[in-house]
Every structure is written in C-alpha cells, then in structure tokens.
Amino acid sequence: MALLDDFHQVMVVMGNIAFVPNMLNLVNYLQGTMHMGISSSSTTVTNFIGAACGFALLGAFLSDSYITRFKTILIFGPVDFLGYALLALQAHLPSLHPSDCDMNGQQNNCEQVHGFNSALLYIALYTTALGEGCVRASLPSLGGDQFDDKDPVELQLKTSFFNWFTFGISLGGFIGLTLVVWIENNKGWDIGFGVSALAILLGVLAVASGVSFYRNQIPKGSPLTRIVQVFVAAFKNRKLVLPENVNQLQHNCEDMDIIEVLPHTKGFKFLDKASINHGDTGTWSCTVTQVEETKIVLRMLPILISTVLGYLPTPVLLTFTVQQGSTMNTKLGKIHISPATLFVIPVIFQMVILVIYDQFIVPFARRITGYVGGITNLQRVGIGFAASALATCVAALVERKRKNIVEEHGLEDFETGVPMSVFWLALQFFLLGIVDVTSFVGLLEFFNGEASRGMKSIGTAIFWCVLGLASLLGTFLVDMVNKATRHGASGRGWLEGANLNKSHLDWFYWLVTILELVALFNYMYWARRYVYRHDPRIPQELTEIDDKDSSKTKDVVAI
C-alpha cells in the first residue's frame, strides 16, 4: 500500500508543479506577453480553470463507464503534456506572439494577440485543460479505490488519504511557485512551460510504473445511462401503484454484474416506480440499486449548487490578487518577489496545517465528537466558506489602501510602481490557504465518499465541477459588473481597461463579500438538512466503549 501511494503521489506532486504556478501566473503572461486587458486576461484564466474542471466530467464518464481510472491517466496525461509543449513553443518563437512593448510608455502601441496566434494560444490552453481535467477526475478515485470501505481500519486510512492527497497538491504547488514561477519571470516563459511539460511527463511515467500494484475498479457500464434509464422507467410507470412491501420491487438478480448493491431508502418515491417488478411479462424495469444511485445524485444536488456559490470568491481572488501585486513594490531587500510567488504563503500553511490536522487535531476531535474525520465533511466546508468571506473583506480593505496611495502620489496613469509592499496581500493569501485546507479537502472527500462505487470518478468530477462552475460564475460576474457600471461619466466599467489604478476593484470585492455571506447562509441551510449515506461516526470495531447504548448507531446521520 505504501509503495502504491508513492507512485500515485508522484503524479499528484508533478501535476501540480505544472498546474498550480501556471494557473496563478498565467494572468501575468496574458497581460505582459499577449498584451490582454485586465478583465480579458482575468476571464481567460477563469475560463481556463473552468474548462479544466469541466473536462473532468469527460474523464470521469470514460473511467467509470468504459476504461479504468488508471488507463484514463495514461491516455490524457500525454494530452496535458502536449498542451504545455504548445504553450512553450508559442512563447519561444517571436512570430507566434505580439512584439515586446512598454506597457506604461507606449500603451497605445501595444498590440493584443489576435488571429492565428490567438487561436494557437486558446488551442494550447484548452488542450492543457482537457488533459488536466481528465487526469484530475481519475487520480483521487484511483487512490480511493485502494481502500475497502467495509474494512474499519482501511476506512480510517481512506480519510487520512484525502488529507495527504491535498498535501501532495500543496507540495507540488510549493515547488512550482518557487521554481517554475521564478523560471518564467527570470529565464523566460518558454522554459517555464517546458519545465511544466517535463513534470507532467515524469508524473505519467511514475503512475505507469505502478501498473502491477493497483486495485483497478472494472467499469460496469455508464452510470449516466443508468440514471437516464431510471427517469424513463419512472415516467412509464407513473400511473402504477407502488407495492407496500419493498421486497416486491425489482432487486438485483444473482447473475447481474454489478459493483455495489445498494439498499432501498425512503424519499423520492416517484423514482421507486422505476423498479416495480413486472414479473415474467417481459416489461423492462430498473433495479433498486439503479434507483438508489439516482437518489444519491439528487440528494447531492443542493449541496453542489450551494457550494458553487460558496466557492465564487476563490477564483476571483486568485486572479485579481496577482494583478494587484503586479502594481506594488515587489522587493524583499534586493530580491524581487513575483506576486504569484506570494501564494507560497498559503501553500506552506496548507502543508503544515494538513500534517497537524491529520496527526493531532483529527484524533483529538475524534475522541470528542465520535466522527471518523473529527468533524463531518460538510462542517469542514462551512468553515472554509466563512474564511472565504473574510478573505474578500480583507482584500477590499487592502485594495482601498492601495488606491489611496495611488491617488496621493498621482499614479493613476501608471500601471506599476505603487509604493506599497506586496506583502500587504499576505493576509488574504493566508485566508485562501484556510479555504483550501477546509473546503477543498471536505468537498473532495464528501463527493467521493457519497458516490456509489460505480460512480466514484463521477463524484470526483462533480467536485472539480464545483471549482469550474465557480470560475465560470466569476467570469460572468465580472462581465455583468462591467456592463452594469459602464454608464458612468468615464464610460468605463469597474474592472475595464488595462490599468488597475483606474479601476474600482475594492468596490467589486465588497460586492463579492456580500454575495459570499448570502452563499454561506444558503449553504448552511442545505448542509444541516443533508443526510449522509454512510454513518460518519467511528465504527464500533474501532471503539473501546463497552456501553451498550453507544453501539446503537443510526443508519444515516444528518450533519
């Protein structure tokens, strides 16, 4: 098991050496090399993140339905490599990107990327997004497949696995933010993208070398097809009467090739009609397991929607904070610190707190609450959303201070040189680290754990879709705010143009803070009503309590 984790973790680390720094530093590439404006570069990045998360659905569908998670990684890992290689090629050849220019002194002469070069840029970005998304959908599920949920010891190890999986993401991000970002800013974007491509290639080779060690979940057909069949059968049987005894429903036959048998649960009675047993009449019906798979997805929908709203500030802060930092004093003594490198602050915090959380906090909280993870996954997510609201509030205050300094020194027409240390942004970075330690891990484990065994990759893809939809929602919000605020005297929206000093980013941050508080209360409403599929408390086999009453646990537990 330990050797297998090593192969798996190498891919996690290598993948994030490439993805994390480029996700955060890409906005500087688009502005500095491709000469895009503030909002266009920001929305391009959020669309790229959204696409990567959206493509996770494709990877999940393929790995759950037709090919194993292991093969999905082997197929789409090279696609990820190809995307970075195209980015490196475009950055290397002068004919494939706009000519260099002085963004301050010759702003009107700076030509934005267009035509064939623009098409090549988007092809490279979305090729990367395709490979990245499909690999990300399969990696956590492949790791989760190595643990047996029916074994109490392995169940605890599985909870620890997701903490260490996130640690691998943070470690890869730390290496990328210190190495890849420095290379891109000092040695050239072509070399930086090339190093990223090499990291992906090494990760794929590491996973491939563990081929003989993995427990592979063999696909049993498309889970999406099974869900559609349930709705069709339920509609056809809508006029029939449900039998009072659930044993009369269509249960799984002994010769059925299924991954997991799911018991009948209450709720969504209209779907139960899909499993009405028609006997030997030849009329087609679904099994109880198929119906229960569909119920699982429907029960998670309110959590999915509410967490998309709750995650909105994260992609917004990731992009605009880097743009804020690019206008400020980036010196630490004689060393220039890239704004994207500041993300090392939350990454280091994530790695430290994840180790402390897994080794000390969880065992301590477990003894108090009785939950396997110390607290439930949805409680952990809620803590992160509260930190997210605080992060946007802090970001608004810092941006207001930055704008005051700009006005005092008459720097409205300049894009850099604001005499304010970039380390003023450290607190909002720190709070983003709390969001990743809590909401990121909590959601990943929640969607993966609640999904049935035949839909694990779909469950992981739903998690990435939360991040992707939040990024796309951020793009939509920026566009809508610009349109709604364009009627002013200047004719400019809050976030339009290439000069952040003329924008109203602080007002935008306050708007996002209000939206996040509304999203937090909405999330709490649905989270309190969610009923877990598996009891999140410690199995009786692992407790030392002899009290008979303590062994009487419910089948399902609300948060």
pLDDT band at 282, cuts 50/70/90? low
**Measuring CA to CA, how many Å separate 439 from each of 323, 385, 450, 461?**
25, 7, 16, 16
Residue 281 tokens, joined = 């009449």
Model pLDDT for residues 548-557, shown as the tens digit of each residue = 433 443 343 3
Find the mean pLDDT for residues 305-333.
Answer: 86
Find the mean pLDDT for residues 359-364.
Answer: 84
pLDDT of residue 387: 94
Confidence check: pLDDT of 396 > 50: yes
Contact indicator for 131, 80 with CB cutoff of 8 Å: yes
pLDDT of residue 252: 59
Model pLDDT for residues 484-541, shown as the tens digit of each residue = 888 755 567 888 777 788 888 999 999 999 999 999 999 999 999 998 887 777 665 5
Helices 115-144 and 69-92: angle between axes, nearest 10 degrees: 150
pLDDT band at 193, cuts 50/70/90? very high
Contact indicator for 532, 352 with CB cutoff of 8 Å: no
Helices (H), 33-151: 38-65, 69-92, 115-144
**Measuring CA to CA, how many Å separate 479 from each of 51, 388, 494, 544?**
18, 22, 10, 57
pLDDT of residue 153: 65
Model pLDDT for residues 84-135, shown as the tens digit of each residue = 999 999 999 988 888 887 665 544 567 888 889 999 999 999 999 999 999 9
Report the chain's mean pLDDT, rounded to a whole number.
82
State the DSSP code for 372.
T
pLDDT of residue 106: 45
The answer to which of 20-34, 240-254, 369-383 has the lowest mean pLDDT is: 240-254
pLDDT of residue 490: 58
pLDDT of residue 281: 60
Q: How far apart are CA 56 and CA 39, in angstroms?
A: 26
**Measuring CA to CA, how many Å separate 520 from each of 300, 388, 427?**
17, 9, 21
Amino acid at 179: L
Please report, for the chain, how many H helices and E strands are present, in that order.
18, 4
pLDDT of residue 283: 63
Phi-psi region of 268 (alpha: psi -120 to 50; beta: other; left: phi over 0): left
Confidence check: pLDDT of 224 > 50: yes
Phi-psi region of 370 (alpha: psi -120 to 50; beta: other; left: phi over 0): left
pLDDT of residue 319: 79
Q: How far apart are CA 134 and CA 62, in angstroms?
A: 9
More confident residue, 333 or 120: 120
